[in-house]
Structures are given as C-alpha cells and as structure tokens.
Amino acid sequence: MRRPDETFVFAVAVIAQAILGCEAMAEEIGLQPASTFQIAQAPAATPSAPLEELLARAEALSSSAKFPEAYELLLREEDTYIGVIEFDYALGRAALNAGLPDKATLAFSRVLALDPGHAGASIDIGRAYLALEDFARARATFQGLLALDPPPPVRAQLRGYLAQTEPPQAGGNLPIGMSYQGYVAATLGRSTNVNQSPAQSQVFVPAIGSNFELSNQNVKKADGFASVSAGLEAAQALDGTYSMILGGEFIERRNFHEFSFDLGGVNFYMGLGAAMGAHQWRVQRLVGRDYLGESPSRDLDAFAFNYLGPLATDTQLLVSAQAGRLRYVPEGLRIFDANFVTWGVGAARKIAEQSTAFVIFSTGRQNDVGDNPSGDKRLLGVRVGAEAALRPRLKLTGSAAWERGNYNRFDEAFFTERRDARWTLETALQYALERNLFLRLGISRSDQRSNIPIYEYSRSEGWLMLRREFP
C-alpha cells in the first residue's frame, strides 16, 4: 500500500499548519500546547552537543529533505536525551519523515506518556499508525482530535486522514470509506441597514442640476433578523493522493419586518482534490442561486482552484483563483450580468502557542455583459485577521477587509467614472458548550464610500449564533 499523504485543506478564513507544522495545527484545534517540562533525572551520558544545537541541526537537515540523515543524527544521541520531551518529539518526527513509522510510534508514545496533551505528538502518532496500516488505532486517534473543535481547514485535513483509515479493498489499494463533514446553525441578530442603501432620501444629480428623490425601498432600513444555514461535504478517496469531493450549502435569512429584503441562497460544488507531500490542491465546479424577498435573484456558475503548501516554518501559503459568470434572473436586473475572474494569494502564521494571524491579497475583474451603466469593474482587496484561544473553551476571532472597485464607463448622469471603496470590520467570541456545539456572539461594521452617492452605505450588525458541527 502507498504511504499515506496529506489530504487537501480548503481554507478561507484561517489557513492551518500542515506537514511542517503538525504541532501548530494541533494546538489550534484545542489540544494543550507542547510542554516545556523535562524529566528530573540527569542524562545517562555526557552529551556530545547541547540539545538546542542538536535539534537545530536536525531541523536544518529535515528542511533540506535529508530525513534519514536527520534521524541518524538524533538517534546517535538517544541514550543521552531519551525521556526529554523536545528530543523524543523531534526523533519521532524525523523517523516518520524517514519512512520508519514503527520507530516513530515509540518516540511519540514516550512524549504522550509524559505529556498526554502534547499537540504535535497527538497528530503525528496517528500519521504513524496510518503508515503502519494500523487503521483501528489511527481511526481512534483522528476521531478523538476531530472531537476537539478544529477550525474548518484543520478539520478538513483530519477528515482526510480519517478517510484513509478504511481498509483497502481486496486485490487493490483503493480505500472503500467515504469521509464527510457538515454543520447546521441558527442565528438571531439585528442590522442597521438590511437593504444596503444610502441614509439620505435625496441625491443631487449633476445631469439634471437638482436633487433626485429616492424611492422608499432605496433608503436605509433597520430591522432584526433570524437565519438558518447548513452545509455538507463528502470526500471519497481514490488512492493515497486523489479524492473526489461533493458538497453543498444553503442559507435562509428572514427579516422581522422588511420582508422584501429577505435573503437566501443555495450552492453545490464537486471536484477533485490531491495531496502530494505537503502540497495540496483542489479544482471544483460551483453552481448556485441567490434569492431576494423569496424570489430568485442571481445565478452563479464558476470554476475554482485552490492550493495550500508550506511557505516557511510555521507559515502556510494559499493561492486561489475563480472564473465564471453572474446572471441576474429579474429582467430589470440583467444590466448587472457579468463574467468574472479573481485571484488571491495569502499566508497564515502561528504567532503564539494558540494564536494564528493571516493576510490575503486579492484582485480581479468583472466584465460587463448586460450594459451596466458603470461598465467593467476592476477589483483590488486585502484582508487580515487573527484567532486566539482565551480559555480552553473560549476563542476570539477578528478580521478587517478593504476592497477597491474601479469602473471604466463614464456615467452620463453623474459626469464621472464610478469609484468605490469598502471597509469591513468583524469580531466574534466563540464558546464551546460541548465538543461540537458552539455559541458565537459577533459584531460587524461595513462602510462603502463612492464618488456616486447612490452607491454609498454603512451598516452595523450584531448576532448570536448556535452552531452544531458533525460528525
């Protein structure tokens, strides 16, 4: 059987640490950070090199893909440092990377005997069981980690490992099991602007030289809202590298009074994922439909590509691209039909024992195909954020995003080409009621400024969400 590889990690919001940072990844999902405790007894022999220097030399060899050399270097000092958590963990990682999973399990077991909550060893011993085809123990390991509330990218990776724990079919190497993940959520909240409209009822129009009175429907309206949402994704492993992916999601948001601005949406996707060592990617087809006031509003049809791989120690690189089309269903909105292409590149880095920060840059273009009075649109944006565990069950997240939209058609009514700039700030506290049941309290603020005032708006929202993830 082929040696198990990584399974794709699909990310948006936080990019988890993969092969080169299993310890960081495990810390993010709620395990205790790796302990700095060392056993009290003195080393059995005089060390030929200080531990810090030894570990640094081994890490340098591993970074150059010289895994057997790294393992042999550490093995020569085993009698000296055996029982020291940092050494045993490094020895286990080196053995696993060198293709010696049996030796790796011995080292990881020593780590976990002294520190049962050690982050990296908890995941890596599962990987070692996989390599040994000890599927029962590997499955129990990954199921236990999944019960600790990992963020979506980490959860996807762990489910990929879990999918590989199914025994192979007779006479072949294809695993017969299918992994899946999903969620259901209910939310109550209030918005200061459910229709994303200007606060002023009158707008000065240069072409007519006077103020224009906006309809009541196009003036800012505040309201409370309730929403429900759910999503499901299934992955069928084809071999140790490739897997088929199928999923879908829906959301329904109802206002308490402004029913014309109720929102809804449903989307489906399918595609192929692959993992080649630490490099993981996914290609998929997306289709979806949005609803406004219970009527179909817009259709999406697109292809997407995502890549995740190591950039540096404790840092992951994400590259994404989408291309497709947006088509509006109501006759009066078809002037906004467009074809689009977007690109994004980002990175996430562990900045503390249980904290992660990320930044994502994006750009793209929407080509007008419906005779939009503003013409084609060029996009430029950036998003930064962070996540930190405040208590064992309490997590704080925050993000800030900026987007610039420049249009290329001269607006005859306002004597200018449209220019928009939007800021969005969001923060949330999440409390784990149970292992897979979470309560989230969040607030957000959006402000869009434009040189054409009918496109300006500001909105503040607060919400309380109850979310259940499974299995």
DSSP collapsed to 3 states, 401-454: EEEEEEEEEEECCCCEEEEEEEEEEEEEEEEEEECCEEEEEEEEEEEEEECCHH
Contact between residue 402 and residue 385 where contact means Cβ atoms under 8 Å apart: no
User: Which is higher by pLDDT, 277 or 32?
Assistant: 277
Rounded Cα gap, residues 279 and 469, in angstroms: 27
**Token pair recorded at residue 455:** 């496109």
User: Which is higher by pLDDT, 439 or 391?
Assistant: 439
**Distance, CA of 180 to chain centre:** 16
Residue 167 scores a pLDDT above 70: no
Contact between residue 419 and residue 450 where contact means Cβ atoms under 8 Å apart: yes
Q: Which amino acid is at 136?
A: A
Residue 170 scores a pLDDT above 70: no
**Distance, CA of 228 to chain centre:** 21
Name the pLDDT band for 171 (thresholds 50, 70, 90): very low
> What is the structure's pLDDT at 150?
57
**Token pair recorded at residue 305:** 């590509």
Residue 43 scores a pLDDT above 70: no
Rounded average pLDDT over 234-260: 89
State pLDDT tens for residues 97-121.
999 999 999 999 898 888 877 767 8
For the chain, give every domain's residue range. 31-147, 180-470
Q: For the domain 180-470, what is the CATH code? A: 2.40.160.60
State pLDDT tens for residues 353-383.
678 899 999 999 999 999 999 999 999 999 9
Name the pLDDT band for 272 (thresholds 50, 70, 90): very high
Task: Give the rounded percent of residues in the chain with a pLDDT score beyond 70.
Answer: 83
Contact between residue 164 and residue 175 where contact means Cβ atoms under 8 Å apart: yes
Q: Among residues 59, 31, 97, 120, which one has the least CA distance to residue 312?
A: 59
Q: Mutual orientation of helices 119-131 and 152-163 as an angle, nearest 10°?
A: 30
Rounded Cα gap, residues 106 and 110, in angstroms: 7
- Return the sign of the alpha-carbon dihedral for residues 112, 116, 122, 125: positive
> What is the structure's pLDDT at 389?
83
Pairing of strands 295-312, 437-450: unpaired
**Token pair recorded at residue 147:** 């019960």
- Return the sign of the alpha-carbon dihedral for residues 420, 421, 423, 424: positive
Task: Write b or e for each residue in 35-53: b if 16 or more Cβ atoms lie within 10 A of its Cβ, otherwise e.
Answer: eeeeeeeeeeeeeeeebee
Rounded Cα gap, residues 165 and 449, in angstroms: 52
Contact between residue 29 and residue 154 where contact means Cβ atoms under 8 Å apart: yes
Q: Mutual orientation of helices 67-75 and 85-97 as an angle, nearest 10°?
A: 140
**Can you name the CATH fold of 31-147?**
1.25.40
Q: CA torsion, points 11, 12, 15, 19, in degrees to nearest 10?
A: 10
In whole numbers, what is the pLDDT of the chain averaged over residues? 82
Beta strands of 13-92 (E only): which ranges? none
Contact between residue 461 and residue 190 where contact means Cβ atoms under 8 Å apart: yes
Residue 342: C-alpha distances to residues 62, 255, 324, 364, 438 (Å): 36, 32, 9, 4, 33
Element (H, E) at 203: strand 202-205
User: Which is higher by pLDDT, 431 or 20?
Assistant: 431
Residue 269: C-alpha distances to residues 233, 340, 407 (Å): 9, 18, 30
Task: Write b or e for each residue in 221-257: b if 16 or more Cβ atoms lie within 10 A of its Cβ, otherwise e.
Answer: bebebebebebebbbbbebbbbbebbbbbbbbbbbee
Rounded to whole angstroms, the maximal C-alpha distance in the chain is 91
Residue 313 scores a pLDDT above 80: no
State pLDDT tens for residues 207-227.
787 888 878 778 899 999 999
Residue 253 scores a pLDDT above 90: yes
Name the pLDDT band for 308 (thresholds 50, 70, 90): confident
- Residue 219's SS3 state is coil
- List Cβ neighbours of 171 (8 Å cut-off, separation of 6 or more): none
Q: Which amino acid is at 102?
A: D
Q: What's the full length of the chain, in residues?
A: 471
Task: Give the rounded percent of residues in the chain with a pLDDT score beyond 90.
Answer: 45
Q: What is the DSSP letter of 393?
A: S
> What is the structure's pLDDT at 151?
55
**Distance, CA of 468 to chain centre:** 17
299: left (phi over 0), alpha (psi -120 to 50) or beta: beta
Contact between residue 316 and residue 336 where contact means Cβ atoms under 8 Å apart: no
**Distance, CA of 185 to chain centre:** 18
Rounded Cα gap, residues 323 and 392, in angstroms: 41
